[in-house]
A and B are shown apart, each in its own frame.
Chain A
């Protein structure tokens, strides 16, 4: 990438590499390797969810209908928007545009926090409706145990995702400080971007899996 080499933010060559291109390639592969472990980390829970959904399809449908589709769709839109601002931040870092990088990092943080806010509001409503699994769980239908199982999956999957979001926002905050100090490295922005997009992809799958179970019935 000739543009990247021209950026004032380009990384210093570490002694174990021969060229910046080789270093960048190693960085990218290492990040993707980490993301592969993350795919399987979420994949295990999603596999368990798919099996139980097949076993208790009616109860899972009833429980899924208690989720707020408007807030679910809004979260999807907000998170996809944050992926756009993240891609633009990486672009700005590669070109060495410090001001644009700072603006897009701030936008990404704002959208990430907006996502967490909507999610928190959703959790609050689940609390008010006594839909938190455990001794306080209240269910009006006859399939309470299986419905509770769906809500376990809902909280574990969205909770793990929210933890990843919080880590992502913290990383963006660190990058913003580095940008302000003029010490930011464009490859670090790029690798953080890969992480952010991955967390977005997890939500792309969680949204239809959790919120869109037999909505038409």
Chain B
């Protein structure tokens, strides 16, 4: 069981990251803006899962259960992006038109 000082440290880190993500959003990083925003969000979520949700202090099976939903979400995002985001890459008339009104 983590001590209360661990919780306060993790909270301080989360606060810094939360304010950093808002500040960085106003800086032009080109294509890296959404990437940095998502990287910070994943870092924050990892801190919450490991410390506030005690996954760091539980057994390995709990870790597998905790990571499973995330893995399935990544599969969903990757496979669906492989379809929608690559339409129009090849000069073949698409059977399904690109997204648009």
Residues of A within 8 A of B (CB): 1, 3-4, 25, 28-29, 32-33, 35-40, 43-44, 47, 50-52, 54-55, 69, 72-73, 76-77, 80-81, 83-84, 86-88, 91, 94, 145-146, 190, 193-194, 197-198, 200-201, 204-205, 207-208, 212, 214-217
Interface residues on B, range: 35 or more
Within 8 A of A (CB), among B82-101: 84-85, 98-101
Query: Which chain B positions have C-beta within 8 A of A33?
Result: 65
Cα separation A88 to B10 with both chains bound (whole Å): 12
Cα separation A83 to B67 with both chains bound (whole Å): 20
B61 lies within 8 A of A29 (CB):
yes
Cα separation A140 to B55 with both chains bound (whole Å): 48
Residues of B contacting A: mostly: helix
Write the nearest CB–CB distance from A80 to chain B, whole angstroms: 5
| Residue in A closest to B87 when the chains form the complex, CB atoms | A55
| Residue in B closest to A143 when the chains form the complex, CB atoms | B101
Query: Which chain A positions have C-beta within 8 A of B27?
Result: 216
Cα separation A146 to B49 with both chains bound (whole Å): 35
Query: Which chain A positions have C-beta within 8 A of B85?
Result: 51, 54
| Residue in B closest to A33 when the chains form the complex, CB atoms | B65
Cα separation A174 to B58 with both chains bound (whole Å): 26
Query: Which chain B positions have C-beta within 8 A of A145?
Result: 101
B15 lies within 8 A of A208 (CB):
no
A80 lies within 8 A of B4 (CB):
no
Query: Which chain B positions have C-beta within 8 A of A205?
Result: 41, 45
Select one of A29, A38, A40, A215 contacting B76, CB under 8 A: A40
Query: Which chain B positions have C-beta within 8 A of A72?
Result: 22
Which of A28, A94, A146 has the largest number of chain B CB atoms within 10 A?
Answer: A28
> Do A212 and B21 form a contact, CB below 8 Å, given A52-B99, A83-B48, A88-B4?
yes
Write the nearest CB–CB distance from A68 to chain B, whole angstroms: 12
Bitwise, B56-69 to A at CB < 8 A (1) or not (0) is 00110110011011
